[in-house]
């Protein structure tokens, strides 16, 4: 009993130490509910202590003077004018890439698990994939696109980037890409991802047998063959690990791609596009929509 | 494996599915982030890239500001005013180029299908209830290369609403104060809804609605000196059907409306106070093919309209005006390499102004055909446009050649250049031309009383505009500024004087003629702010016009009043200003919008600024939404100059007193 009690007491003491709010870290949420809160909750749990947080939809954040790191969830929270001295870790801001700040560091937690992994999964599902077209609209996706081209070249995939200037341009661009692509991929671009566009993409994909790869579970549900993304919970956990690294004095890269990936598959879409999921892939999938 | 099984079961059972996949939260998230990336603006980003001067009022803005009708929403577009003549309500007017009796200088379309009365040329803004509108697209400036005749000063496209999901729709209704004002009872002011169904290959939407708007009665003195209790009312009943299957689309719009009439001479003796009715039917089919080289569209439409107007003090003599248009078109877009494109198109239209006849409403006897029986015209056109869409530049040039069997040929052209500083910051330079063929009424009308004579020698009126626009959005702000110079040539208007037709000289008679035209310059500014809970807009227009069309109104006239001098811009306000603000908090929301016309003049008198505003507040309870609105909050009558007849009456009422309206809608 004594042997058991000692580690228990030590663990409780350690937990008590962590439970003390480390005012050096604060969180700012674009909105204090929904998926923003889901990610923040995961962040807090992974970080191991209560973190003061501010809901930007209810007013301006009042950062304590001792704040050293701000963790922002959502584009609006990320884009807030924080003092240059604090580190800024921002997540759930697709299409937004902030400029570096000094002396504080600025690091983005991506909603994607890394382009090489995404392309590898596509190749796994579609071994004959040679030409991939990526549709995007948001202005700050240029860096991701450049990285994608480099990663695709390593896999022998030819990538075409097609910027969609507006909602009405999508059907025309799709028609223009007929015969020039083996598949297309849609990153989590808020300017492009809406129900109407996804319907257009799904109908185009299904009627022409051209696989549509998405980047969130929502896209798979709407008709993409598969999506490789990161859960909002995974984003929060990755942000917590990132804050720990910053506290340890590390210099992380400007964009962090979370390790935890979420693969979702759509059996109907795959059937329409003559894709057969390898058995191992189905086992690894978080969701398989029938 | 458990998660996969759960997902499979979730897809089979809706309750479990919603738990496993909070799809609404996903869309909320995407919308939130899109708002942060753009301007949180209802204006889609296409306005930055459009090669025309386009303003969009989308569904969110319609609901946010609780616009009661299409005309009311359009009144907030800078450069566009919705006026009236004594013959017609809700006449859209672009950049101060006044319409005559009829609204035939701006093309109105439903889902891109033009709809207008072939006899007198007017379009009708009330063919779609506001509940069935997804979006209003307003193109200011000449647009004949795109649309042919009637897009002389602009074009309005009413895009019909569809539910985003199969089996979805809406039911709407409302109660409004009637002619008795707030002291009177409440009448049903609107009722209707829509229902959509879709599967992977097809979609269908039905919508139906009725609207009745009664303004408090006001006193009005007519040309004969009779004091009338004028009851301004408007009512419409509408049915729409849109269907898509594969590459085929069908549109059906049927509408009937009633409105009060002020006579063709502003007297009770010419039918004032009696009812004017309209019936309209529009059917269109299009086949959109997608060959490897681009896009091919084949379309046909049939547009039938009938209008019935009173003409005497007993409502016995009435006129029936009826005609139809049959249109066919083919349009091909070739998508070339390097961002180049080429558009080629051809259209043919057969217009039959079947009748403008007077009849006895008691006996049905035909009394006169007004020289207008079976006036048919065929118009053919070809057009092409060449474009380039690059990273920073977008260029487009095109022309349309039109051959009209009655009025000859016309060539209209356009050229646009857009420099895109970035995705939210662009500068546009545009040149555009347009024409309007004279209507059958303007060419052939010849009533027994010779109130006005048509002129078979009329040529099309023309317009051309040079414009420079700058659009920018930063953070939550959006601004769109335009300066322009416009020229209007061979303007068709009513002229009094000696006139020879068919070899007969008519002395000192009202007749249609081509005027010398006039020029104008102007500036338009629209600014928007879109916060999370607070949104607002401001729309300002200021225009000045030349006096190239000035002509004398003789004095003393038949009523012994002094004459004067008339030109288009005499009757145009110095400026127009519209604005609105809306706020929401939780389930509750409120909005107010206003319109201000700067000082202007009638023929003989000055007219002060005119102001009216609406206020609404409501709450959303699940799928239901309730709104209480006060229209014309101040209760003051809003007057505009009478600019057509120019005889005795100086002004016409645009709005009478204050009105109250409760509306609700329920989404399913």
Convert the pLDDT of each residue in A167-198 to its tens digit. 667 777 887 787 788 899 988 888 888 877 88
Query: Do B7 and A289 count as a contact with CB atoms less than 8 A apart?
Result: yes
Chain A CB within 8 Å of residue B184 CB: no
Which positions in chain A touch B164 (Cβ < 8 Å)?
195-196
Residue closest to A103 by CA, chosen among A246, A240, A243, A235: A246
Chain A CB within 8 Å of residue B555 CB: no
DSSP result, B387-411: EEE-SSEEEEEEEEEEEETTTEEEE
Chain Cα centroid distance, residue B171: 25
Number of neighbouring beta carbons within 10 Å of residue B477 = 15
Six-digit token string for B587:
């389930």
Residue of B8, B9, B23, B37 to mutate for A, most A C-beta atoms under 10 A: B37
Q: What is the mean pLDDT of residues A159-174?
A: 76
Which positions in chain B touch A287 (Cβ < 8 Å)?
3-4, 7, 20-21
Predicted local confidence at residue B226, as pLDDT: 83
Which positions in chain B touch A137 (Cβ < 8 Å)?
45, 423
Asked if pLDDT for residue A99 goes beyond 90, the answer is: no
List of chain B residues with pLDDT < 70: 1-24, 34-51, 164-165, 178-185, 200, 391, 423, 556-559
Query: Do B33 and A139 count as a contact with CB atoms less than 8 A apart?
Result: no
> How far apart (Å, rounded) are the C-alpha atoms in residues B284 and B127?
15
Query: Do B33 and A195 count as a contact with CB atoms less than 8 A apart?
Result: no
ipTM value, please give it: 0.76
**CA of A31 to nearest chain B CA: how many angstroms apart?**
9
Residue closest to B271 by CA, chosen among B511, B509, B512, B87: B87
Asked if pLDDT for residue A11 goes beyond 50, the answer is: no
Query: Do A92 and B23 count as a contact with CB atoms less than 8 A apart?
Result: no
SS3 of B9-77: HHHHCHHHHHHHCCHHHHHHHHHHHHHHHCCCCCCCCHHHHCCCEEEEEEHHHHHHCCCCCHHHHHCCC
Which among B4, B27, B32 has CB closest to A74?
Answer: B32
Query: Do B164 and A176 count as a contact with CB atoms less than 8 A apart?
Result: no
Six-digit token string for A222:
């709407």
Rg (CA), chain B: 25
Query: Do B294 and A175 count as a contact with CB atoms less than 8 A apart?
Result: yes
Which positions in chain B touch A175 (Cβ < 8 Å)?
290, 294-295, 335
Report which secondary-structure segment, H or E, holds A6.
helix A2-19
Which among B3, B34, B389 has CB closest to A191?
Answer: B34
**For residue range A106-125, what is the model confidence (pLDDT) as tens digits?**
899 988 888 888 888 888 88
**CA of B491 to nearest chain A CA: how many angstroms apart?**
36
Q: Which residue of B has its CA nearest to A169?
A: B46
Cross-strand partners of B542: B523, B575
Exposed, middle or buried, B662 (CB in 10 Å: 0-12/13-18/19+)?
A: middle
Which among B4, B26, B35 has CB closest to A216?
Answer: B26
Which positions in chain A touch B27 (Cβ < 8 Å)?
194-195, 218
SS3 of A237-248: HHHHHHHHHHHC
> How far apart (Å, rounded) are the C-alpha atoms in residues B325 and B303?
5
**CA of A119 to nearest chain B CA: how many angstroms apart?**
23
Predicted local confidence at residue A143, as pLDDT: 65
Which positions in chain B touch A139 (Cβ < 8 Å)?
37, 422-424
- Torsion angles phi and psi, residue B364, rounded to 5: 80, 0
Chain A CB within 8 Å of residue B13 CB: no
Predicted local confidence at residue B574, as pLDDT: 93
pTM: 0.70
**CA of B1 to nearest chain A CA: how many angstroms apart?**
6
Predicted local confidence at residue A141, as pLDDT: 65
Helix intervals (H) in B69-129:
70-74
Q: What is the mean pLDDT of residues A257-285?
A: 85
Residue closest to B484 by CA, chosen among B406, B417, B543, B414: B543
**For residue range A17-41, what is the model confidence (pLDDT) as tens digits?**
444 445 789 999 988 888 899 999 9
Asked if pLDDT for residue A15 goes beyond 80, the answer is: no
Q: Which residue of B has its CA nearest to A263?
A: B4
Q: For residue A284, name the pLDDT band (cuts at 50, 70, 90).
A: confident
**A63: Cβ–Cβ under 8 A, 6 or more apart, which residues?**
A26, A70, A82, A83, A86
CB burial of A146-178 (b: ≥16 within 10 Å; e: otherwise) equals: eebbebbeeeebebebbbbbbbebbbbebbbbe
Which among B11, B33, B292 has CB closest to A93?
Answer: B33
**CA of B36 to nearest chain A CA: how many angstroms apart?**
6
Asked if pLDDT for residue A2 goes beyond 50, the answer is: no
Q: For residue A135, name the pLDDT band (cuts at 50, 70, 90).
A: confident
3-class SS of residue A197: helix
**CA of A178 to nearest chain B CA: how many angstroms apart?**
7
Which among B12, B36, B46 has CB closest to A167?
Answer: B46
**CA of B78 to nearest chain A CA: how many angstroms apart?**
23
Query: Do A96 and B37 count as a contact with CB atoms less than 8 A apart?
Result: yes
Which among A217, A282, A288 has CB closest to B21?
Answer: A217
Report which secondary-structure segment, H or E, holds A150.
helix A142-155
Residue of B5, B29, B161 to mutate for A, most A C-beta atoms under 10 A: B29
Which positions in chain A touch B8 (Cβ < 8 Å)?
288, 290
Which positions in chain A touch B289 (Cβ < 8 Å)?
none
Chain A CB within 8 Å of residue B34 CB: yes
Chain A CB within 8 Å of residue B584 CB: no
Predicted local confidence at residue B382, as pLDDT: 97
Query: Do B33 and A178 count as a contact with CB atoms less than 8 A apart?
Result: no
> How far apart (Å, rounded) are the C-alpha atoms in residues B431 and B443?
30
Instruction: With beta carbons less than 8 A apart as the criterion, state whether B551 and B495 touch.
Output: yes
């Amino acid at each position: 009993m004594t042997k058991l009690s000692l580690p228990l007491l030590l663990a409780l003491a350690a937990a008590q130490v962590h439970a003390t709010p480390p005012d050096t870290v604060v969180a700012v949420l674009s909105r204090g509910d929904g998926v923003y809160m889901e990610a923040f909750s995961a962040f807090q749990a992974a970080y191991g202590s209560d973190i003061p947080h501010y809901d930007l939809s209810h007013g301006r954040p009042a950062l304590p003077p001792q704040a050293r790191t701000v963790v922002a969830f959502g584009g609006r929270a990320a884009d807030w004018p924080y003092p240059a001295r604090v580190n800024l870790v921002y997540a759930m801001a697709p299409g937004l890439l902030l400029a570096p700040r000094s002396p504080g560091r600025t690091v983005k937690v991506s909603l994607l698990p890394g382009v090489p992994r995404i392309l590898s999964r596509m190749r796994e599902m579609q071994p004959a994939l040679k030409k991939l077209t990526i549709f995007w609209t948001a202005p700050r996706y240029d860096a991701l696109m450049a990285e994608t081209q480099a990663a695709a070249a390593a896999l022998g995939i030819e990538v075409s980037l097609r910027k969609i200037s507006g909602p009405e341009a999508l059907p025309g661009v799709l028609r223009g890409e007929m015969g020039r692509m083996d598949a297309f991929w849609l990153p989590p671009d808020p300017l492009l991802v809406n129900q109407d566009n996804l319907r257009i993409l799904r109908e185009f994909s299904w009627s022409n047998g051209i696989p549509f790869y998405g980047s969130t579970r929502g896209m798979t549900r709407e008709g993409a063959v598969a999506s490789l993304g990161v859960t909002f919970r995974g984003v929060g956990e990755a942000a917590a690990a990132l804050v720990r690294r910053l506290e340890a004095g590390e210099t992380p890269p400007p964009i962090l791609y979370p390790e935890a990936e979420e693969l979702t598959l759509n059996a109907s879409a795959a059937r329409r596009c003559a894709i057969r999921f390898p058995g191992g892939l189905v086992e690894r999938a978080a969701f398989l929509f029938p | 494996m458990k998660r996969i099984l759960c997902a499979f079961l979730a897809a089979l059972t809706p309750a479990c599915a919603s738990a496993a996949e909070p799809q609404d939260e996903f869309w909320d998230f995407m919308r939130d982030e899109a708002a942060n990336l753009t301007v949180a603006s209802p204006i889609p980003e296409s306005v930055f890239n459009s090669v025309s001067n386009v303003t969009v009022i989308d569904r969110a803005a319609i609901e946010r500001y609780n616009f009661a009708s299409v005309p009311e929403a359009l009144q907030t577009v800078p450069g566009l005013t919705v006026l009236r003549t004594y013959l017609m309500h809700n006449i859209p007017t672009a950049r101060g180029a006044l319409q005559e009796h009829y609204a035939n200088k701006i093309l109105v379309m439903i889902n891109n299908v033009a709809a207008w009365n072939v006899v007198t040329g007017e379009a009708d803004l009330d063919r779609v209830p506001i509940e069935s509108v997804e979006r209003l697209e307003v193109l200011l400036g000449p647009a004949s290369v795109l649309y042919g005749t009637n897009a002389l000063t602009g074009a309005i496209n009413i895009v019909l609403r569809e539910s985003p999901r199969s089996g979805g729709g809406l039911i709407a209704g409302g109660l409004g104060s009637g002619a008795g004002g707030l002291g009177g009872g409440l009448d049903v002011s609107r009722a209707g809804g829509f229902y959509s169904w879709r599967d992977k290959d097809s979609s269908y939407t039905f919508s139906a609605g009725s609207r009745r708007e009664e303004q408090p009665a006001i006193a009005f003195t007519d040309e004969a000196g009779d004091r009338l209790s004028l009851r301004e009312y408007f009512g419409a009943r509408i049915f729409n059907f849109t269907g898509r299957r594969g590459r085929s689309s069908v549109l059906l719009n049927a509408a009937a409306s009633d409105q009060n009439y002020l006579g063709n001479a502003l007297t009770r003796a010419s039918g004032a106070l009696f009812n004017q009715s309209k019936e309209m039917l529009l059917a269109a089919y299009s086949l959109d093919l997608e060959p490897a080289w681009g896009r091919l569209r084949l379309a046909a439409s049939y547009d039938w309209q009938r209008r019935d107007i009173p003409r005497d003090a007993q409502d016995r003599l009435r006129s029936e005006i009826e005609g139809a248009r049959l249109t066919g078109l083919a349009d091909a877009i070739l998508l070339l390499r390097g961002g180049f494109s080429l558009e080629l198109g051809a259209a043919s239209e057969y217009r039959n102004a079947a009748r403008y006849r007077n009849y006895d409403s008691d006996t049905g006897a035909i009394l006169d055909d007004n020289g207008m029986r079976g006036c048919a015209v065929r118009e053919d056109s070809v057009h092409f446009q060449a474009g380039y869409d690059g990273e920073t530049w977008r260029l487009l040039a095109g022309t349309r050649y039109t051959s009209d069997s009655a009025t000859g040929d016309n060539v209209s052209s356009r050229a646009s250049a857009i420099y895109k500083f970035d995705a939210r910051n662009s500068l546009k330079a545009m040149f555009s031309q347009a024409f309007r063929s004279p209507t059958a009424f303007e060419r052939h009308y010849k009533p027994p009383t010779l109130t006005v004579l048509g002129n078979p020698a009329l040529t099309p009126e023309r317009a051309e505009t040079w414009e420079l626009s700058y659009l920018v959005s930063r953070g939550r702000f959006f601004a769109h500024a335009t300066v322009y110079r416009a020229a209007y040539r061979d303007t068709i208007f009513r002229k009094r004087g000696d006139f020879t037709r068919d070899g007969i000289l008519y002395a000192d008679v009202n007749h249609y003629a081509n005027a010398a035209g006039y020029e104008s310059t102007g500036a338009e500014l629209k600014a928007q702010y879109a916060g999370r809970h607070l949104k607002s807009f401001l729309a300002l227009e200021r225009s000045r016009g030349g006096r190239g069309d000035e002509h004398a109104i003789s004095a003393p006239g038949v009523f012994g009043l002094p004459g004067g001098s008339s030109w288009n811009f005499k009757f145009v306000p110095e400026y127009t200003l519209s604005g609105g603000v809306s706020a929401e908090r939780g389930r509750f929301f409120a909005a107010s919008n206003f319109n201000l016309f700067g000082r202007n003049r009638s023929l003989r008198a000055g007219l002060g600024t005119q102001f009216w505003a609406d206020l609404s507040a409501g709450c959303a309870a699940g799928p239901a939404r309730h709104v209480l609105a006060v229209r014309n909050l101040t209760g003051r009558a809003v007057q505009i100059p009478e600019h057509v007849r120019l005889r005795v009456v100086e002004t016409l009422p645009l709005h009478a007193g204050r009105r109250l309206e409760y509306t609700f809608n329920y989404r399913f």
